[in-house]
């Protein structure tokens, strides 16, 4: 088990103890439901435990569908509703296809917020709390540009990304290209659909075997390509190629520590679940979403809240959990005043 | 029959010609294609994918299909990584236990098919969900990172800076399978059951036992592939095996395997894997638009199957005319 996992486990036990000691002040039973199993969502579990203890919720439980299938997620949500859960933070299995189940939940007096991914407007979700994926990719590319120093212009960069069926992938491709164009950098190749270990290994290694000498940098905007690229650079032993990855996989963080990866753009899954639990409880207690709330518009919704993103590099890699918590605290301060109207 | 015409009739001849043509064409456009590093990368992919293809080939040999190949491989992979990380079990013992888990999963598939008579498609569809569910239950979608240095060294190591160490178990498996299928009674029984189950039964072959054996071997091979992926990726990812299904069928079929059973070729299946790996590499090297990769990949696999089928048809026509 990794240090991070140990810390999480220890914190879980502590939190469970505290939660057990404190009686629930609220009858909110929150379910945190991702689209399927993915390491990205692991932080939701701890965030739910922490939020339940912090806000005196009856529960804020992490519930994972067995597969990335809309039908499985829908069945799980219906089952949770029948078990008494009354607030749902959902990563929609499909931005449009998941709307009907959200309507069903709301029709049964439950509150719904989209987390990490959004429903397509119009939807019954109060709002969408997630990473501004385009912005994160843009900032990641800018960090890569910065790592080249004054000689960034004319550098060649390869972009490795995730599933093409994910609408965020195209946003990421566009954002990376935009930042590259602004800096006079050429994106020489985009390799996509490699968010599984085997194809990622095969394609990234094949690319590097043929072109490692022709590129100056790598940007990755999906979890598995980040892990595989970090391993590949370590294997080649090439610190000439600068890389900026995404997310907080232990392999990537270790590569940052060892100097094979310049940095990684962490998202804030912890904050999504923690703030989501808080907001769902508030909505259940009679608060409403402010009409003039400062939402951001993205490709799917006009009610988007950025849960934050930050570059983790060698200077702050050992405190990345604190960075996530700081981001969360920053959004939490003034969240109620900005987004909710409570009498 | 001359030695040349005998070679011409083999299953592996067509795929071999396709491989040679593909290598020549790709090399012409990409000078780095035959660099030692790229050959190593290619062999790494082939080593793992060949075991996956063999796992399905064994089931195709008995005229069935195994949808749980990836789920068994994934379960063995996370078991291998998990046993090392959580319990500190030495890598060789963890590998042996993971192989045993694969063997057991395959055995369970085989016994259920043999005893109930329910189609292998249905049984393995159900066990796919069960094995994957156990995987997710154990990992909770969180990878195992504690891969020991000796496993990483094995995954990264090579002979003469060219042949990856993880290709060696695959080589042993290929020779072993060839020997089993074409030199041992058990292998003959497998092909006989695939060719005509009723006739095999009338000949005194224990069909149920043969089906169980084929599935157990398939599970064992899938587990081997899972272990090699862990050594290669250096992480026990719960998603290992999720996208093995298409490849597991594509390679044996490109290699001329008959889906109704009774006829498979280890060499041709291996060449089928090589063809898929070459196509995958070519798409990367030629910078194909990511949104078109699947289309081109599917099209090229169809071309490869078509060329091999054309050769077979010509050979049959030639045989009839003689």
Q: What is the CATH number of the domain that holds A67?
A: 3.40.50.2300
**Residue B186 to residue B61: CA distance in whole angstroms:** 12
| Whether residues A253 and A146 fall in one domain | yes
Is the domain defined by B12-20+35-321 classed in CATH 1.10.10? no
pTM (predicted TM-score): 0.80
| Whether residues A150 and A36 fall in one domain | no
pLDDT tens across A261-302, in order?
999 999 899 999 999 999 999 999 999 999 899 999 888 899
pLDDT for A166 beyond 90: no
| Whether residues A243 and A278 fall in one domain | no
The burial of B66, by beta-carbon neighbours within 10 Å (0-12 exposed, 13-18 middle, 19 or more buried), is given as: buried
Return the pLDDT at B92.
96
Check CB contact under 8 Å for A37 and B141.
yes
Which of A216, A238, A266 represents a domain boundary (last residue)? A266
**Residue B178 to residue B11: CA distance in whole angstroms:** 14
* Mean pLDDT to the nearest integer, A139-148: 96
> Helix (H, G, I), strand (E, B), or coil: what is residue A311?
strand
> Helix (H, G, I), strand (E, B), or coil: what is residue A317?
helix
Whether A119 is covered by a domain: the verdict is: yes
Check CB contact under 8 Å for B243 and A2.
no
pLDDT for A22 beyond 90: no
| Whether residues A251 and A156 fall in one domain | yes
Q: Are B72 and B102 in contact (CB under 8 A)?
A: yes
| Whether residues A40 and A117 fall in one domain | yes
**Residue A191 to residue A207: CA distance in whole angstroms:** 9
Whether A52 is covered by a domain: the verdict is: yes
Check CB contact under 8 Å for B229 and A197.
yes
| Whether residues A196 and A219 fall in one domain | yes
Using CB atoms, which residue from B44, B132, B141 is nearest to A205?
B44
Domain range for A238 is 133-266
Cα of B201 to nearest chain A Cα, Å: 40
**Residue A111 to residue A88: CA distance in whole angstroms:** 6
Check CB contact under 8 Å for B44 and A203.
no
The pLDDT-based confidence of A14 (bands split at 50, 70, 90) is very low
Task: Name which of B307, B269, B233, B223 is nearest B58 in CA terms.
Answer: B269
The residues facing A312 across adjacent strands are A264
Give mean pLDDT in consecutive 10-residue pieces for chain B, a chain of 322 residues: 74 86 89 85 92 96 95 97 95 97 98 95 95 90 88 90 93 97 95 93 94 98 97 89 89 84 91 91 83 80 78 71 66
Return the pLDDT at A179.
96
**Residue A248 to residue A135: CA distance in whole angstroms:** 17
| Whether residues A10 and A94 fall in one domain | yes
Return the pLDDT at B301.
79
Cα of B92 to nearest chain A Cα, Å: 20
* Mean pLDDT to the nearest integer, A334-342: 91
| Whether residues A29 and A105 fall in one domain | yes
Q: Which residue of B has its CA nearest to A232?
A: B233
| Whether residues A174 and A50 fall in one domain | no
The residues facing A32 across adjacent strands are A62, A89
Q: Return the number of other C-beta atoms located less than 10 Å from residue A226's C-beta.
A: 30
CA A54-A55-A56 angle, 5° bins: 100
Task: Name which of B276, B27, B317, B50 is nearest B178 in CA terms.
Answer: B50
Return the pLDDT at A324.
84
**Residue A87 to residue A179: CA distance in whole angstroms:** 38
* Mean pLDDT to the nearest integer, A199-221: 92
Whether A315 is covered by a domain: the verdict is: no
* Mean pLDDT to the nearest integer, A255-261: 95
| Whether residues A258 and A278 fall in one domain | no
Contacts of A10 (CB under 8 A, 6+ apart): none
* Mean pLDDT to the nearest integer, A33-54: 89
Cα of B202 to nearest chain A Cα, Å: 44
> What does the block give as tokens for A279?
């907001």
Return the pLDDT at A24.
60
| Whether residues A155 and A254 fall in one domain | yes
Using CB atoms, which residue from B133, B229, B291 is nearest to A198?
B229
> What does the block give as tokens for A244?
């900026």
Check CB contact under 8 Å for B280 and A210.
no
Whether A116 is covered by a domain: the verdict is: yes
The pLDDT-based confidence of A40 (bands split at 50, 70, 90) is confident
pLDDT for A21 beyond 60: no
> What does the block give as tokens for A261?
């990866």
Whether A314 is covered by a domain: the verdict is: no
| Whether residues A175 and A119 fall in one domain | no
Check CB contact under 8 Å for B41 and A250.
no
Return the pLDDT at A315.
92
pLDDT for A15 beyond 60: no
Cα of A263 to nearest chain B Cα, Å: 20
Q: What is the mean pLDDT of chain A?
A: 88
Into how many domains does chain A fold? 2
Whether A123 is covered by a domain: the verdict is: yes
Return the pLDDT at A4.
41
């Amino acid at each position: 088990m990794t240090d991070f996992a140990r810390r999480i486990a220890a914190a879980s036990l502590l939190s469970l103890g505290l939660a057990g000691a404190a009686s629930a002040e609220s009858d909110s039973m929150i379910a945190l439901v991702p689209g399927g199993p993915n390491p990205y969502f692991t932080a939701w579990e701890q965030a739910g435990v922490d939020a339940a203890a912090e806000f005196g919720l009856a529960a804020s439980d992490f519930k994972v569908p067995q597969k990335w299938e809309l039908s499985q997620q829908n069945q799980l949500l219906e089952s949770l509703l029948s078990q008494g859960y009354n607030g749902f933070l959902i990563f929609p299995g499909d931005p449009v296809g998941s709307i009907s189940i959200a309507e069903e939940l709301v029709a049964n007096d439950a509150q719904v917020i989209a987390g990490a991914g959004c429903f397509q407007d119009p939807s019954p979700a109060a709002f969408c709390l997630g990473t501004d994926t385009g912005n994160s990719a843009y900032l990641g590319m800018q960090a890569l540009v910065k790592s080249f120093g004054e000689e960034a212009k004319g550098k060649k960069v390869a972009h490795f990304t995730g599933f093409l069926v994910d609408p965020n992938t195209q946003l990421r491709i566009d954002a990376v290209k935009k930042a590259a164009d602004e800096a006079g950098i050429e994106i020489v190749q985009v390799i996509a659909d490699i968010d599984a270990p085997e194809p990622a290994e095969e394609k990234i290694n094949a690319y590097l075997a043929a072109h490692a000498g022709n590129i100056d940098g790598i940007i990755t905007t999906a979890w598995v390509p980040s892990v595989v690229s970090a391993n590949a650079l370590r294997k080649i032993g090439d610190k000439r190629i600068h890389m900026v990855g995404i997310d907080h996989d232990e392999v990537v963080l270790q590569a940052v520590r060892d100097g094979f990866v310049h940095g990684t753009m962490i998202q804030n899954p912890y904050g999504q679940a923690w703030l989501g639990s808080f907001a769902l409880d508030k909505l259940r207690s009679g608060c409403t979403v402010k009409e003039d709330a400062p939402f951001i518009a993205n490709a799917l919704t006009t009610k988007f809240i950025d849960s934050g993103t930050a570059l983790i590099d060698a200077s702050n890699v050992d405190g990345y959990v604190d960075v996530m918590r700081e981001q969360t605290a920053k959004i939490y301060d003034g969240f109620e005043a900005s987004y909710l109207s409570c009498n | 029959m001359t030695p040349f015409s005998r070679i011409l009739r083999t299953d592996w001849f067509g795929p071999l010609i396709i491989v040679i043509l593909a290598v020549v064409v790709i090399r012409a456009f990409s000078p780095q294609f035959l660099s030692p590093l790229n050959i190593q990368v290619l062999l790494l992919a082939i080593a793992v994918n060949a075991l996956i293809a063999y796992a399905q080939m064994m089931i195709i040999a008995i005229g069935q299909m195994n949808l749980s190949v990836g789920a068994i491989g994934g379960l063995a992979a996370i078991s291998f990584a998990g046993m090392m990380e959580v319990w500190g079990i030495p890598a060789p013992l963890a590998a042996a236990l993971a192989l045993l888990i694969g063997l057991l999963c395959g055995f369970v598939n085989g016994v259920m098919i043999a005893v109930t008579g329910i189609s292998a498609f249905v049984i393995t569809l159900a066990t796919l969900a069960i094995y994957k569910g156990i995987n997710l239950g154990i990992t909770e979608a969180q990878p195992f990172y504690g891969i020991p240095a000796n496993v990483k060294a094995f995954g990264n190591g090579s002979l003469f800076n060219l042949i990856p160490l993880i290709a060696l178990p695959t080589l042993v498996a290929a020779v072993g399978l060839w020997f089993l299928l074409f030199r041992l009674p058990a292998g003959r029984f497998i092909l006989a059951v695939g060719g005509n189950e009723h006739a095999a039964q009338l000949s005194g072959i224990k069909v149920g036992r043969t089906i169980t054996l084929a599935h157990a071997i398939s599970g064992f091979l899938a587990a081997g592939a899972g272990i090699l992926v862990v050594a290669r990726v250096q992480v026990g990812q719960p998603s290992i095996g999720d996208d093995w299904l298409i490849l597991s069928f594509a390679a044996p079929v490109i290699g001329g395997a008959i889906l109704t059973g009774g006829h498979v070729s280890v060499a041709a299946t291996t060449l089928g894997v090589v063809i898929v790996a070459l196509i995958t590499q070519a798409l990367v090297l030629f910078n194909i638009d990511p949104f078109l990769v699947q289309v081109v990949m599917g099209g090229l696999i169809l071309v490869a199957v078509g060329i091999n089928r054309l050769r077979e048809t010509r050979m049959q026509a030639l045989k009839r005319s003689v």
